[in-house]
């Protein structure tokens, strides 16, 4: 074991999630937070089709300036466009934990930033990540890290323990996620769960949680004056298959093990 205790690993295997930290030091949290803000405010050039907006604020994508960042809901794939986020996705502090859960060879599937602006950050309905990810025949584990303190009130992660053993359940399509021009709109996928079983995992900046791609999870809306930004990276072993449209197939980076540096 590199970073987890046996008890933590056993908890993850039986419950399908684990609160963990710290992953990041203060300096790195500051750099990543500034990077996220620079993309969201339009200060750093970023493909507009990879930025999604809070419902009802799509028009903000053409406005520039510091207010713009108050309406960004999602920044997709930052590791593909900005070296700072690739450094994050390959940070040994994360990969050591992933190795404990997934074994010695790790492939980076993707990254995203999910933001919950103060007062109106919308909820992320209950779902399984596997409903969004066209990946077959493997385990996939997501690493969710808070950039701002995440509390129950401003939208921390919540999990339904043990649900990673349920297989992929049917999701229904909920509200639409809109992208700026050229981006793909997509419906939020949702399931109903027994919320009385939900376990909230609040996180200080730089701390977070790990979850299996079949674990039911979601986040409540942010009704507080405190914004909540989180950076999420997804990892899997080498034995994955890609089941999505061939034209959309991303590059999969091997980030740990004998084949580190290969692109699959
Ligand atoms: O950060 C959020 O609001 C939701 C995160 C989530 O659903 C995920 O990482 O799969």
Three-point CA angle 247, 250, 252, nearest 5°: 145
CA-nearest residue, atom 10 of ligand 1: 129
CA-nearest residue, atom 1 of ligand 1: 114
- Is the CB of residue 219 below 6 angstroms from any atom belonging to ligand 1? yes
Q: What is the pLDDT of residue 183?
A: 64
Distance (Å, whole) CA 158 – CA 4: 21
Tokens 């799509």 locate to: 58
Under-50 pLDDT residues of the chain: none
Distance (Å, whole) CA 160 – CA 193: 8
Q: What is the pLDDT of residue 178?
A: 62
- Is the CB of residue 158 below 6 angstroms from any atom belonging to ligand 1? no
Q: What contacts 242, CB < 8 A, 6 or more positions away?
A: 134, 135, 136, 249, 252
- Is the CB of residue 100 below 6 angstroms from any atom belonging to ligand 1? no
* CATH fold for the domain made of 6-256: Jelly Rolls (2.60.120)
Q: What is the pLDDT of residue 78?
A: 98
What residue ranges do the domains of the chain occupy? 6-256
pLDDT in tens, 166-219: 999 999 987 776 665 556 667 788 999 999 999 999 999 999 999 999 999 999
CB 142 within 8 A of CB 262: no
Closest CA to 263 of 137, 79, 51, 50: 79
CB 216 within 8 A of CB 191: yes
Q: Which two tokens stand for residue 220?
A: 């409540």
* Ligand 1 centre distance from Cα of residue 210 (Å): 11
Q: How far apart are the first and last CA of the chain?
A: 27
- Is the CB of residue 144 below 6 angstroms from any atom belonging to ligand 1? yes
CA-nearest residue, atom 7 of ligand 1: 218
């Amino acid at each position: 074991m590199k970073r987890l205790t046996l008890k933590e690993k056993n908890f993850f295997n039986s419950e399908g999630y684990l609160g963990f930290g710290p992953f990041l030091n203060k300096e790195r949290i500051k750099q990543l937070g500034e990077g996220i803000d620079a993309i969201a405010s339009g200060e750093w050039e970023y493909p507009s089709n990879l930025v999604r907006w809070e419902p009802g604020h799509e028009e903000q994508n053409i406005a520039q300036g510091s207010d713009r960042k108050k309406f960004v809901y999602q920044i997709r794939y930052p590791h593909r466009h900005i070296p700072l986020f690739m450094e994050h996705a390959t940070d040994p502090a994360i990969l050591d934990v992933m190795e404990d859960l997934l074994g010695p060879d790790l492939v980076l599937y993707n990254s995203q930033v999910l933001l919950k602006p103060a007062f109106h950050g919308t909820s992320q309905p209950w779902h399984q990540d596997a409903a969004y990810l066209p990946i077959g025949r493997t385990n996939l584990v997501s690493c969710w890290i808070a950039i701002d303190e995440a509390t129950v009130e401003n939208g921390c992660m919540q999990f339904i323990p043990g649900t990673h053993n349920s297989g992929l359940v049917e999701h229904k399509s909920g509200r639409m996620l809109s992208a700026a021009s050229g981006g793909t709109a997509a419906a939020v996928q949702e399931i109903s769960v027994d919320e009385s079983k939900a376990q909230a995992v609040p996180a200080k900046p730089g701390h977070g949680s790990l979850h299996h791609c079949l674990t039911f999870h979601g986040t409540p809306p942010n009704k507080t004056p405190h914004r909540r930004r989180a950076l999420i990276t997804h990892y899997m072993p080498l034995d994955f298959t890609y089941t999505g449209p061939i034209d959309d197939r991303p590059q999969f980076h091997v980030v740990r093990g004998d084949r580190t540096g290969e692109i699959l």
